């Protein structure tokens, strides 16, 4: 075997060229870069840029009463899933288990955009049956 013939054979008897034509190697590199780009964009869209305290402050700006109770939860909705803050605010009524005012605000946790505001007021009604009849929704 000549010296030049031996130079093209690797340790295990394989070629030293890296295997495959140049266009195939370029195609694999491009595919990996595209996959990384798509992955980065997907992760960015599902990021949570608005924290819990900012979401509560935004939600309070949307209602026309001062809440005494506030609950917040982070939900992922849709396909592909997007994060939303769901903020529930209420002011208790005169009777136990009733509300004088109730509101739910859905906020995009990525952009901070207010998606939905649902507000109900129950003005001084004696029982919950009456409250359901005189419900006002903003």
Label each residue of 38-86 as H, E or C: HHHHHHHHCCCCCCHHHHHHHHHHCCCCCCCEEEEEEEEECCCCEEEEE
Q: Are residues 63 and 122 in the same domain?
A: yes
Q: Are residues 69 and 23 in the same domain?
A: no
pLDDT at residue number 123: 64
Q: Are 111 and 128 in contact (CB under 8 A)?
A: no
pTM: 0.58
What stretch of H or E contains 102? strand 99-108
Q: Are residues 88 and 31 in the same domain?
A: no
Domain range holding 21? 3-45
pLDDT at residue number 30: 87
* The total number of structural domains that make up the chain: 2
Q: Are residues 73 and 122 in the same domain?
A: yes
Q: Are residues 111 and 73 in the same domain?
A: yes
Helix (H, G, I), strand (E, B) or coil at 133: helix
Q: Are residues 41 and 66 in the same domain?
A: no
pLDDT means per 10 residues, the chain with 138 residues, are 56 65 81 79 70 95 94 90 94 88 95 94 54 40
Q: Are residues 41 and 61 in the same domain?
A: no
Q: Are residues 63 and 41 in the same domain?
A: no
Q: Are residues 133 and 115 in the same domain?
A: yes
């Amino acid at each position: 075997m000549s010296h030049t013939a031996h130079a093209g054979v690797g340790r295990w008897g394989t070629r030293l060229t890296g295997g495959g034509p140049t266009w195939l190697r370029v195609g694999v590199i491009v595919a990996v870069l595209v996959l990384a780009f798509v992955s980065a964009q997907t992760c960015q869209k599902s990021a949570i840029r608005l924290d819990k305290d900012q979401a509560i402050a935004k939600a309070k700006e949307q209602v026309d009463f001062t809440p005494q109770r506030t609950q917040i939860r982070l939900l992922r909705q849709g396909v592909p899933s997007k994060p939303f803050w769901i903020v529930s605010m209420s002011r208790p009524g005169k009777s136990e288990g009733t509300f004088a005012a109730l509101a739910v605000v859905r906020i995009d946790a990525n952009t901070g955009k207010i998606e939905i505001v649902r507000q109900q007021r129950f003005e001084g009604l004696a029982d919950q049956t009456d409250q359901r009849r005189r419900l006002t929704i903003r």
